[in-house]
Amino acid sequence: MPKPGSDSRELLRRLRATLAEDNEGQERLDHITQIVAQGMGTEVCSIYLRRDAQTLELCATEGLKKESVHQTRMRFGEGLVGRIAKEARAINAENANREKGFRYMPETGEERYSSLLGVPIQRLGEILGVLVVQNKQPRFYSDDEVYALEIVAMVIAEMKELGAFVGEGDAMSAPHQRPFLFNGTTGQEGVAEGVIVLHDPQIVVSNPVTDDPEAEKARLQDAMNQLRISVDDLLGANIKVGDEEHRDVLEAYRMFANSKGWVSRLESSIDSGLAAEVAVEKEQSATRARMARVPDPYLRDRLHDLDDLSNRLLRLLTGQGRHSSDKLPENPILVARNIGPGELLEYGKKLKGIVLEEGSVGSHAAIIARAWAIPMVIHATNITREALNGDAILVDGDQGLAHLRPDDSVTNAFRDKIAMVSEAREKFAAIREEPAETLDGVTISLMMNAGLMLDLPSLEGSGAEGVGLFRTELQFLMRSAVPRRNELAETYSRVMDAAAGKPVVFRTLDIGSDKVLPFWKPQDEPNPAMGWRAIRLGLDKPGLMKMQIQALLRGAKGRPLRVMFPFIAQFNEFRDARALFFNVVESEKRLGHTMPSEIKIGAMLETPSLAFAPDRFFELCDFISIGGNDLKQFFYAADRENERVRRRYDTLNVSFLTFIGQIAERCKSFDTPLSFCGEDAGRPLEALCLAAMGLRSLSMRPASVGPVKDMIRRHNLNEVRAVIDAAFASGEQSVRPALMAYLEKTDA
């Protein structure tokens, strides 16, 4: 039987010859089953390929009935072959018909065969099919035979990727050519047409088999040396900062890069006849399969480290790297599994759209996309597997859709939508300098949200009256160490310079939950959104909070300063944070630093509890900003990162609007200015409703200012409030239907 070494290399040599033959895809598949059956001494060899996301199809066989080819199909998890695909692991059965889940397929004639060995055909963790051998006599297949079949399956996966098995039917369709529609989730509204830039490009291996293992191992060793040097360079600076736990995490990453076991497994695959790149992909596929089965988050993170190192090694072996930001094509649409804020910023505003397999609406990548008004779709499952650099793509952020390689009819309809969006932009630009004043004479202040210097040029162009929320945590999240106080002060000063006298409200550091600082060990909390975050963390680490307050005071350079504390849940948190702020003020005065001409201290109302705080809170607070995204999730007990529950609850629900109205009334009774900040402030219908409930200031992403202003200027708040009150009285759960009907009538 073949062993890792010369026997399996002979088997792979014959497979490579098959790949080089000028045959149709079906002939190649048939030939492979013959080669494997002969080479392994089995009576049956069958290849099942994936027809769609959950269906396998028998595409070639040596030993089973030929008429069952392209007729026999099964779901993932159905029968032993379906189990192999679903679980991404081999099954070695002495008596297959006694195995759990066995399914008899009479059309194949397989009842004569007792023993079965099946392995997944997978590439980078994605199941492409299943390779099976069978014998009449009951027997277990040896470890060497299992290994040999896995090696063959890896080569078949690479050949499938190269389009070597193209034929009739979905299971043998050409890879990366058909149109695909990905149903994701809206990360940022808007539409864009462009070409794909993959954040981690697909690695293409043109020759998966080698005749010279020693040369391949030398290539691997050279790439490993480069990898280790790059990892040392990457971690050298970071490992000098932070505590011992942080050092341990970084050293674990370095340990993987120097793992003798990892290299030994790669070299063993090369000795079996695989090219170095395919050996790395084989190990990476096994790692991703293990990641999917490991429940422990710490171990998953360590396996993710190995996956990341595999990607780096593949880029070194193939020379196929990432795009640099200065080499982007025209109209680039970024496609990635996920991306952090620092990596996204490297691409800059050249991007026309973003599509992610993962991500969340609250991620900092989504926040940056919203600030830049770049259409974004998240949860586009498997798009990085299907897409190639340069593929045409249409991004519909409004509907959460991505059309990959669209046909002409879809493209033409999409271009009509883009034209309508462009026409609307021109309409909004015409009222940019006009006030957001309702027909009955109520003026609503429209502010914009920001978090980067890159956002500030939008202030003038959007028509916003100032920055209602400047997120200060982004300067921390994009660094490998705590920023220096003077660097932060300079940043805050430049923000105020760019605002050119318009008000800027700085929110102090809001980290924790989904915002984990790179230089701090993540906290293992069962519910981080309700855990140690924002002001709770700031009060527990007063040194960090004092440093940021000093930077804010110095950055103001004598100008008015507005600061608000995030995630205040009760009065004493605000009182303590405010006292700490003014202690720093007194200290700065003693040091002779110039103080702001005016200081206003506010709070973000993001928990229902704060709405019921003592009167003294409202008297002491200079202003309050409702953090709509968090307030809504705590009001409804629905995690805003969980798509299953996030959309169940409507902002225009009667109970939530009643609560908003109560907050507005209480603030009004104390003359405490109140604003609303969050996604809903930037949605025209919701913004109009919030204004009718008593809000006189709304803060939103820059691109929303025009549409919201247009909506407000066209309506009478008294009439809108009457519609809302009537809906309240009718017993309806939401006022949305009544408002939509009102707008239809008034806008007709």
pLDDT tens digits for range 353-395: 999 988 776 666 777 777 777 899 999 988 988 888 899 999 9
The pLDDT value recorded for residue 66 is 92
Q: Of the residues 358, 387, 421, which one is the last residue of a structural domain?
A: 421
Is the pLDDT score of 240 beyond 50?
no
CATH code of the domain covering residue 22: 3.30.450.40
**Do residue 462 and residue 348 come from a single domain?**
no
The pLDDT value recorded for residue 155 is 86
The pLDDT value recorded for residue 6 is 40
**Do residue 49 and residue 67 come from a single domain?**
yes
CATH code of the domain covering residue 560: 3.20.20.60
| Cβ pair 378, 361 in contact under 8 A | yes
Of 156-160, 194-198, 252-256, the one with minimum mean pLDDT is 252-256
Of 73-77, 95-99, 163-167, the one with minimum mean pLDDT is 163-167
The pLDDT value recorded for residue 25 is 85
| Domain contains 453 | yes
- Residues 570-590: tens digit of each pLDDT: 999 999 999 999 999 999 999
Name the pairing type of β-strands 376-378 and 115-123.
unpaired
**Where does 96-142 have alpha helices with state H?**
none
The helix (run of H) or strand (run of E) holding residue 78 is none
The helix (run of H) or strand (run of E) holding residue 627 is strand 623-627
Higher pLDDT, 311 or 130: 130
Q: pLDDT class for 163, splitting at 50, 70, 90?
A: confident
CATH code of the domain covering residue 351: 3.50.30.10
The pLDDT value recorded for residue 294 is 60
Is the pLDDT score of 237 beyond 60?
no
β-sheet bridge partners, residue 135:
115
Q: pLDDT class for 600, splitting at 50, 70, 90?
A: very high
Q: pLDDT class for 610, splitting at 50, 70, 90?
A: very high
Is the pLDDT score of 140 beyond 50?
yes
Q: What is the DSSP string of 407-471?
A: -HHHHHHHHHHHHHHHHHHHHHHHTTTS--B-TTS-B-EEEEEE-SGGGTTHHHHHT-SSEEEEE
| Domain contains 548 | yes
The pLDDT value recorded for residue 696 is 97
| Domain contains 206 | no
Six token digits for residue 252? 């674990």
Q: Of the residues 400, 421, 442, which one is the last residue of a structural domain?
A: 421
Enclosing domain of residue 449 = 431-746
| Domain contains 561 | yes
Is the pLDDT score of 318 beyond 90?
no
| Domain contains 207 | no
Q: Which of 182, 661, 677, 170 is nearest to 383 (CA)?
A: 182
Residues 6+ apart with CB under 8 A from 506: 470, 472, 492, 495, 552, 561, 562, 563, 564
The pLDDT value recorded for residue 352 is 93
Higher pLDDT, 138 or 479: 138
- Most trustworthy range by pLDDT among 182-186, 642-646, 738-742: 738-742
The pLDDT value recorded for residue 611 is 96
Q: Is 464 exposed, middle or buried (0-12, 13-18, 19+ CB in 10 A)?
A: buried
| Domain contains 208 | no
Q: Which of 199, 511, 519, 184 is nearest to 344 (CA)?
A: 199
Phi-psi group of 379: left, alpha or beta (phi > 0 → left; psi -120 to 50 → alpha; rest → beta): left
**Do residue 196 and residue 112 come from a single domain?**
no
Higher pLDDT, 552 or 533: 552
Residues above pLDDT 70, as percent of the chain? 86
Distances (CA, A) of 32 to 12, 153, 157, 421: 10, 11, 13, 53
Task: Give the mean pLDDT of 274-298.
Answer: 74
Residue environment code for 403-421, b if the CB has 16+ CB neighbours within 10 A, otherwise e: bbbbeeeeeeebeeeeeee
Number of domains making up the chain: 4
Of 291-300, 412-421, 486-495, the one with minimum mean pLDDT is 291-300
